[in-house]
């Protein structure tokens, strides 16, 4: 026990002893005095007794109220930033404690309301003298266990947060008696005072507003809610002028979708909308209406501070400028409006607190200049705490007079607001002044940009294409780096390939279109019509990274965004990742090693194994030697005819998200005509009849997509089956089967005719070569070394599913989930590794002709151990280093289509459409 703990315990013991003695002495005195008090009271008149009782009651009541009010007193303000500015900022003393991850909950301090925060304040704040970098390292090591083995570079989405911040908030809210601020009890009044104090502090510290009476701060659920509130409440008629009677809504083309979405509400009010670029921003200067723009582009990090000032200076009378500051504000950057001239100030600023501190979510703000407030008179809903008076019998409503009260529907997020106050304290005390924090993060960003820009292939070509305006200096960007990777020939590596590898390397970045359609059309150069076409083909914002790369263009990119909790090691890890998997050191570009077949040259193999996958993304059923199976144009009979469907949204579940699906072991019983489903390691079993359509829902149910194509599966209605699958996967799900005939077809460019599919991704059949599997295993064995770099605890799957076995992992044929595996007929497999890359036709048993549709692109699913459901990322990492095609895609195996019309006429009728293990295979 520490000296501090011992002294505290001793003090507590002494205090308890003194309290007990006081109570004993008081009791003895009262016993002695009772006869005298009784005699005194007996000599008083009735009126005198009543007067004495009133006096005693008032005295006790005053003391009680005094003790109660002490619990709600705001602590004396602490200076939030003494280094950057000369004024003090209202702050409440924070109670923080550094808690090591190994400590148990029982070691936490008591949060009794009567216990002051000063004791915890001294112990909880992770104080560290020195540079910001040293303070960050200290906080990460003491209070960021979630970053122990992760490289988190997605702060623009949501920055991580230290455990001490959460503990500080927990101590704060649990030590106060909080109530609904709309009430009038002492606790309600104190709660309202806390909200007001935080409101003032945010305006003062985050925005540098000295005259807070000239501004209003409305607490909302976040930036999107703030923008929606403006669009719903703005009185467009009040913005019209004699020179321009038609109000408009204009927004910068590189705006977040939250801003773009405001145009629909404007259209409902009869107001037209249009976009503008930085170059033609002067065109909106004389327009009446609302102009919206981001202070920082969430996709590229480009800052529009000068553009904002220019628009504010030249705006028309009566028009408003709305600023989206969600991407700009962070724990290292604030918007100090006091540094701007009066004519450069925006009228409204929307922002989110979780973008700044990481915690809590669900709380944001809308900052409104007092002069702009009258233009938000179009709000129509008033109820609950937003009304001063209302009648039920008639349409008579009187909204609250205070601006904030009229716009904060319902009870505000009291705990979130108090958390904001604690977050300001925590970051100031843990990391120091705002300016020092800003310089630290800017330095990391500069290093990342410089390092990525300097990466070159062996032939001198760039490895990284960065999406930044060349004529803008580095200080014109925030800590966001948006890029795509290039092959040695200059082709763009599909962003989804980069994202997959980053995920299994425990590097967290953002891949896609970043909720910014203007960025896609301007920086990526994708025409709007093509985006519409990609959507029609099933490539929306979330899965655009694997869209076709026609003309060297791609409609998605990769974004790395930094924050205060990042370090130089994070930068080095990302750069090392890019160099390891995407940099070609050779002077001449090289393709994936393959054996190119000479024209007319044939190779003989044996059909070593056949696997049927009745349920998509679940375990396969490997056929026994000599067991015949039927062929169909859409694959092996019963292959991928069922899916596991999410009952909440109709989506198809996949091993990429649910690796435990490998433990679902379906088996086709052709004799009983049943699909028998078991769960590995359990006694669970369920049989589904092929011929009983009554097992499925009558309606088509919810639409889902497989590789962009819309399908309408019918859900199985058995509660027992649903329970069995849901308990395993942790999501409400069931078995589903296609409702009608086959409507999907392969989209592979080599499929000259329509190749039918049910639930298969790209082709009816997939073939691999055992010699190729062995070669991958050799590469994995050669690359194996002590340590855990290739055994990251998080690869995009649940960390509980990962293998902790430090031994090298061998390639497993089952991981590639092929229908056919061929092996060398003469037993000399070494020379046949990757021979499948150069094939165009495969003939099985001398009668079944298959055309080769192309290479199979690989994803995270090859990392799932099909026996245990554990994730072992070495497989995909090895393929990424050795098996890439000219477009940068990771490949292994070949897609096939059955061509029954080309079968030799001599085939026996009873065996015409059957295959079995051991058949001869001729490949050419």
Measured CA to CA, the distance from residue 745 to residue 751 in angstroms comes to 9
Looking up tokens 């308890």, which residue turns up?
Answer: 16
Measured CA to CA, the distance from residue 817 to residue 595 in angstroms comes to 22
Does the annotation count 515 as an active-site position? yes
pLDDT computed for residue 60 by the predictor = 54
Q: Residue ranges per domain, the chain?
A: 215-380, 435-582
Confirm whether pTM is higher than 0.75.
Answer: yes
- Yes or no: say if 622 and 819 are a contact pair by the CB < 8 Å rule: no
pLDDT computed for residue 31 by the predictor = 58
Question: CB 268: neighbour CB atoms within 10 A?
Answer: 10
179 contact partners, CB below 8 Å, separation of at least 6: 185, 187, 188, 190, 191
Q: In what order do the strands lie in the sheet with 635-636?
A: 635-636, 629-632, 914-915
- Residue from 150, 140, 350, 329 nearest 261 by CA: 350
Say which CATH topology domain 435-582 has: 3.90.1150
* φ, ψ (nearest 5 deg) of residue 750: -85, -10
Measured CA to CA, the distance from residue 124 to residue 106 in angstroms comes to 16
Measured CA to CA, the distance from residue 777 to residue 772 in angstroms comes to 9
- Of the residues 151, 297, 312, 515, which is catalytic? 515
pLDDT computed for residue 76 by the predictor = 39
- Residue from 876, 907, 870, 909 nearest 891 by CA: 876
In this structure, the dihedral spanned by the alpha carbons of residues 682, 687, 690 and 691, taken in order and rounded to 10 degrees, is: -170
pLDDT computed for residue 51 by the predictor = 65
The predicted-structure confidence for 544-557, as pLDDT tens digits, reads as follows: 666 656 667 899 99
* φ, ψ (nearest 5 deg) of residue 449: -60, -45
Q: Could you list the beta-strand ranges (E) of 221-317.
A: 248-252, 272-276, 289-294
User: Helix (H, G, I), strand (E, B), or coil: what is residue 413?
Assistant: coil
* Among the four given CATH numbers 1.10.1060.10, 3.40.640.10, 3.30.1360.120, 3.30.70.2190, the one describing domain 215-380: 3.40.640.10
Measured CA to CA, the distance from residue 258 to residue 281 in angstroms comes to 20
Measured CA to CA, the distance from residue 26 to residue 20 in angstroms comes to 10
pLDDT computed for residue 480 by the predictor = 98
10-residue mean pLDDT profile of the chain (924 residues): values are: 45 46 55 64 68 60 46 39 38 35 33 37 59 96 95 97 96 93 93 95 96 95 97 92 79 97 95 94 87 97 96 90 98 95 96 97 97 94 90 92 92 95 96 96 97 95 93 91 94 92 94 94 91 78 64 89 98 96 77 50 90 96 93 93 91 92 96 95 94 80 60 88 96 85 67 77 91 92 59 38 50 92 80 88 92 90 92 90 85 92 60 88 90
What is each CA distance from 348 to 200, 230, 345, 376, in whole angstroms? 16, 9, 9, 11
28 contact partners, CB below 8 Å, separation of at least 6: none
- Yes or no: say if 665 and 680 are a contact pair by the CB < 8 Å rule: yes
CB-based burial, 853-875: b 16+ in 10 Å, e otherwise: bbbbbbbbbbbbbbebbbbbbbb
- The answer to whether the 215-380 and 435-582 domains have the same CATH topology is no
Q: What share of the chain is helix, strand, coil (3-state, %, to 5)?
A: 35, 20, 45
What is each CA distance from 854 to 633, 750, 837, 898, in whole angstroms? 17, 7, 8, 14
pLDDT computed for residue 8 by the predictor = 45
pLDDT computed for residue 24 by the predictor = 54
pLDDT computed for residue 706 by the predictor = 60
pLDDT computed for residue 481 by the predictor = 98
Helix axes 163-174, 414-431, angle to 10 degrees: 130
Measured CA to CA, the distance from residue 581 to residue 778 in angstroms comes to 18
């Amino acid at each position: 026990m520490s000296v501090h703990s011992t002294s505290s315990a001793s003090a507590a013991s002494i205090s308890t002893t003194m309290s007990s003695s006081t109570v004993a002495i008081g009791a003895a005195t009262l016993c002695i005095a009772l006869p005298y008090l009784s005699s005194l009271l007996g000599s008083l008149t009735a009126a005198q007794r009543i007067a004495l009782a009133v006096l005693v009651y008032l005295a006790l009541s005053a003391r009680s109220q005094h003790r109660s009010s002490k619990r709600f007193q705001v602590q004396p303000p602490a200076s939030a930033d003494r280094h950057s500015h000369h004024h003090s900022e209202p702050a409440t003393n924070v109670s923080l404690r550094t808690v090591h991850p190994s400590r148990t909950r029982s070691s936490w301090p008591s949060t009794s309301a009567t216990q002051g925060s000063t004791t915890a304040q001294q112990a909880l704040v992770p104080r560290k003298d020195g540079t910001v970098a040293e303070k960050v390292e200290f906080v990460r090591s003491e209070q960021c266990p979630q970053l122990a083995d992760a490289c988190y570079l997605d702060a623009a989405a949501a920055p991580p947060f230290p455990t001490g911040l959460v503990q500080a908030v927990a101590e704060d809210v649990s030590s106060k008696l909080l109530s609904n601020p709309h009430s009038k009890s002492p606790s309600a009044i104190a709660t309202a005072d806390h909200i007001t104090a935080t409101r003032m502090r945010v305006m003062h510290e985050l925005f540098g507003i000295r005259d807070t009476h000239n501004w209003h701060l409305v607490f909302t659920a976040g930036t999107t809610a703030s923008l929606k509130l403006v669009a719903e409440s703005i009185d467009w008629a009040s913005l019209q002028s004699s020179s321009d009677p038609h109000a408009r809504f204009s927004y910068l083309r590189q705006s977040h979708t939250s801003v773009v979405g405001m145009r629909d509400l404007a259209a409902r009010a009869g107001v037209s909308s249009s976009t503008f670029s930085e170059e033609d921003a002067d065109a909106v200067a004389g327009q009446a209406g609302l102009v919206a723009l981001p202070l920082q582009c969430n996709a590229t990090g480009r800052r529009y501070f000068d553009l904002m000032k220019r628009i504010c200076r030249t705006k028309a009378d009566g028009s408003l400028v709305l600023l989206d500051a969600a991407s700009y504000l962070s724990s290292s950057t604030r918007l100090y409006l006091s540094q701007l001239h009066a004519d450069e100030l925006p009228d409204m600023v929307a922002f989110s607190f979780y973008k700044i501190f990481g915690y809590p979510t669900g709380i944001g703000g809308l900052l409104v200049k007092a002069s702009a407030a009258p233009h938000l008179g179009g709000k129509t809903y008033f109820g609950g705490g937003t009304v001063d008076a209302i009648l039920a019998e008639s349409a008579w409503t009187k909204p609250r007079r205070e601006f904030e009260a009229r716009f904060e529907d319902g009870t505000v997020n009291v705990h979130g607001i108090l958390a904001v106050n604690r977050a300001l304290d925590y970051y100031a005390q843990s990391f120091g002044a705002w300016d020092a924090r800003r310089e630290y993060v800017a330095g990391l960003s500069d290093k990342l940009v410089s390092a990525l820009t300097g990466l070159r292939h062996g032939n001198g070509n760039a490895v990284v294409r960065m999406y930044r305006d060349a004529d803008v200096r580095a200080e014109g960007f925030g800590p966001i780096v948006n890029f795509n990777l290039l092959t040695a020939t200059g082709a763009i590596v599909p962003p989804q390939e980069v994202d997959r590898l980053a995920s299994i390397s425990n590097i967290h970045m953002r891949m896609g279109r970043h909720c910014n359609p203007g960025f896609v059309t301007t920086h990526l150069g994708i025409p709007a019509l093509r985006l519409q076409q990609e959507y029609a083909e099933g490539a929306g914002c979330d899965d655009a990274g694997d869209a076709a790369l026609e003309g060297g263009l791609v409609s998605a990119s990769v974004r790395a965004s930094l924050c205060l909790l990042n370090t130089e090691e994070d930068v080095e890890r990302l750069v090392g990742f890019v160099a390891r998997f995407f940099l070609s050191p050779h002077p001449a570009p090289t393709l994936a090693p393959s054996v190119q077949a000479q024209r007319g040259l044939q190779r003989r193999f044996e059909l070593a194994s056949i696997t049927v996958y009745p349920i998509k993304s679940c375990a396969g059923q490997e056929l026994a030697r000599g067991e015949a199976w039927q062929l169909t144009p859409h694959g092996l009979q019963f292959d991928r005819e069922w899916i596991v469907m999410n009952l909440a949204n109709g989506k198809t579940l996949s091993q990429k998200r649910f690796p435990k699906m490998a433990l679902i072991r379906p088996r086709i019983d052709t004799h009983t005509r049943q699909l028998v489903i078991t769960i590995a390691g359990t006694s669970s079993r369920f049989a589904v009849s092929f011929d009983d359509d009554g097992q499925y829902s009558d309606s088509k149910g919810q639409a889902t997509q497989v590789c962009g194509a819309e399908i309408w599966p019918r859900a199985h209605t058995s509660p027992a089956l649903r329970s069995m699958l849901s308990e395993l996967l942790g999501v409400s799900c069931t078995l589903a089967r296609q409702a009608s005939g086959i409507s999907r077809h392969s989209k592979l460019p080599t499929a000259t005719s329509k190749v039918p599919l049910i639930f298969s991704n790209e082709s009816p059949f997939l073939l691999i070569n055992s010699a190729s599997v062995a070669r991958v295993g050799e590469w994995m064995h050669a690359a194996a070394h002590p340590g855990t770099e290739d055994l990251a605890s998080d690869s995009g799957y649940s960390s509980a599913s990962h293998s902790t076995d430090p031994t090298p992992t061998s390639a497993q044929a089952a991981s590639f989930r092929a229908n056919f595996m061929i092996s060398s007929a003469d037993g000399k497999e070494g020379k046949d590794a990757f021979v499948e890359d150069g094939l165009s036709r495969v003939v099985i048993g001398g009668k079944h002709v298959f055309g080769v549709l192309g290479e199979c692109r690989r994803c995270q699913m090859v990392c799932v151990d099909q026996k245990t459901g554990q994730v072992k990322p070495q497989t995909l990492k090895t393929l990424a280093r050795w098996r890439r095609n000219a477009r940068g895609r990771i490949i292994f195996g070949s897609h096939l289509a059955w061509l029954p019309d080309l079968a030799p006429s001599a085939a026996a009728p009873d065996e015409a459409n059957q295959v079995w293990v051991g058949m001869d295979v001729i490949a050419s």
